[in-house]
Structure 1
Amino acid sequence: MPDTRRVILVTGAAGNLGRATLACLAREGSALAAADRTGDVGSLLPVGLDEPAAHLALPGLDLLDAASCEAGIARVMARFGRLDGVAQTVGGFAMQPIAEAGPMEWEAMFRLNLLSTLNIFRAAITVMRPRGRGSLCAVGALAALKAPASMGPYAASKSAVLRLVESYAEELRGTGLRVNAVLPTTMDTPQNRAAMPGADPSGWVRPEAVGQVIAFLLSDAAAAVSGACVPAACHG
């Protein structure tokens, strides 16, 4: 009997948001391809999967390298024969006043946030478009809508991600492919708590909540949604 589960690729699978997104998708019964630049294969697939062998771990996937992305997509196709969705959770954050941020800092943010998304989306769309269906979700940031102080390079790079999503959505209109983005506020992660010990995390959004938004945007329930940039914030 053919496997009819949706096949979803999650990048940044070893990160906080990647793990949370994998868990959400696993509960929905998706077949998962968990990709990360790390070589720790065991950490990529969620604990408690009923059938770990039914999923695929992709360690060593470098989203800054277009060829690596193409090779990763080829492995997904070889394993499952199709690709239904991509959750692109890889990105970078830096806080620095514009007067102190040189070309290297600006380039680093655009590479980590924009180029990573462009590379994996281009590779995925190549195999998804012939099937006439599929969904891609990027991670932007609310800071992309209104940049706070000391976040110029970060906010600009995340704004570029949103423009990429909007442009792709228009170019793919009528093909059966959808492209959206989720815009989290500060996420409640151990790293953010350590970096901002004086902050109040009660207003931060949990990675699990953001993962649920990503899972929805990738699902058939969001079949009418493309080109959307959906805020994800804590509401109490």
Structure 2
Amino acid sequence: MSKAIVTGGASGIGAAVVSLLRERGHDVVVLDRDPSDGIQVDVTDAAGVQAAVDEAASRLGGLDLVVNNAGVGAAGTVADNDDEEWHRVFDINVVGMVRVSRAALPYLRGSGDAAIVNTCSVAATAGLPQRALYSATKGAVYSLTLAMAADHVGEGIRVNAVAPGTADTPWIGRLLDAAEDPEAERAALEARQPMGRLVSAAEVAEAIVYLASATATTGTVLGVDGGMQGLRLRAPRGR
């Protein structure tokens, strides 16, 4: 069984990944700003990330799997967020993954079955309204995943990503709470996914754990989006 770290592992998709990995017998250390059972770390702090990864590897006796899940959301058009916010969100969503992966690489090189799985988003490849900043960061994660896969395949380190659609996570819950009509907003989010519902954190976790063990798979971004990216359904008659 693998020795794994999961960033952003205290809630949402990350917590679902931690639960599923442990259920299947893997040893996991949570890295989060507010962990319930792990190591506290802010992915924007390079020294803190290095120390946290070193501590996790020491606890586990090595590292086989890194799940780069820590991230934040952002709403609005390009006009709605200032430079400071753009830098902040990129620092967390993109450079945070770089810091964790960089710190973990020496340990992964010593594993016989090493993998990195990044949390991307359908927003990387589908134009969504009011998501300019968030989409830009996830587009960067998409490209970063492919480049890392190319860089490290020769070292036996597989790098993949999942691209969820709108997932039923605490961040989406906060967006709905802030909406003028939360029920109508939820219905609209569900309607834009062909399966007619939000993706669950557990469903995304299943895909992440699959990629962690899919030994012939690297450089893949796996959609978990209810058909949102690939399907174009006909509207009902009369519309």
Q: Is TM (by shorter chain) over 0.5?
A: yes
Cα pair 2:73 2:171 within 8 Å, conserved: no
1:85 to 65, 81, 84: 65
Where does residue 12 of structure 1 map in the other structure?
A: 8
Distance (whole Å) between structure 2 residues aligned to residue 194 and residue 174 of structure 1: 42
Residue among 46, 62, 66 paired with 1:66:
46
After superposition, give the CA deviation of every residue in 1:191-213 in whole Å (9 maximum; x if it has no partner): 42342212224521000000110
Whole-angstrom CA distance in 2 between matches of 1:143 and 1:209 = 18
Displacement after TM superposition at 1:162 (Å): 1.1
Q: How does 1:174-193 map to 2 (within 5 A)?
A: 174-193=154-173
Aligned partners of 1:194 and 1:12: how far apart in 2?
17
How far apart in 2 are the matches of 1:178 and 1:190? 29
Percent identical:
30
Aligned length in residues = 213
Asked whether the equivalents of residues 143 and 155 of structure 1 are also in contact (C-alpha less than 8 Å), the reply is yes
Counterpart amino acid of residue 99 in structure 1: A
Partner residue of 1:233? Answer: 225
Aligned-pair distance for 1:231? 0.5
**Counterpart for residue 21 of structure 1:** 17
Q: Which runs of 4+ in 1 moved over 3 A?
A: 130-133
Following superposition, the deviation at residue 105 of structure 1 comes to 2.1
SS in 2 for 1:35: strand
Quote how far apart the aligned CAs of 1:152 are: 1.1
Task: For residue 132 of structure 1, report the CA deviation from its aligned partner.
Answer: 5.1
Partner deviation per Cα, 1:49-80 (whole Å, 9 max, x = no partner): xxxxxxxx21x211111211111121122222
1:78-157 aligned within 5 A:
78-131=58-111, 133-157=113-137
- Shift in CA distance, 194/35, structure 1 to aligned 2, threshold 3 Å: closer
Query: 2:216: which partner in 1?
Result: 224
Query: Runs of 5+ in structure 2 lacking a partner?
Result: 177-181, 191-195, 228-239
Q: Deviation of residue 100 (structure 1)?
A: 2.3
Q: Give deviations 1:114-171, integer Å, cap 9, x for gaps.
A: 0111110111112211345300011011010123122111101111111111111001
1:53 corresponding residue in structure 2: none
Query: Contact (CA 8 Å) 1:132, 1:175: kept in 2 or not?
Result: no
User: Residue 174 of structure 1 aligns to a residue in which SS?
Assistant: helix
Partner SS for 2:153: coil
Query: Which of residues 190, 209, 220 in structure 2 aligns to 1:215?
Result: 209
1:113–1:190 CA distance, 2 compared to 1 (3 A) = closer
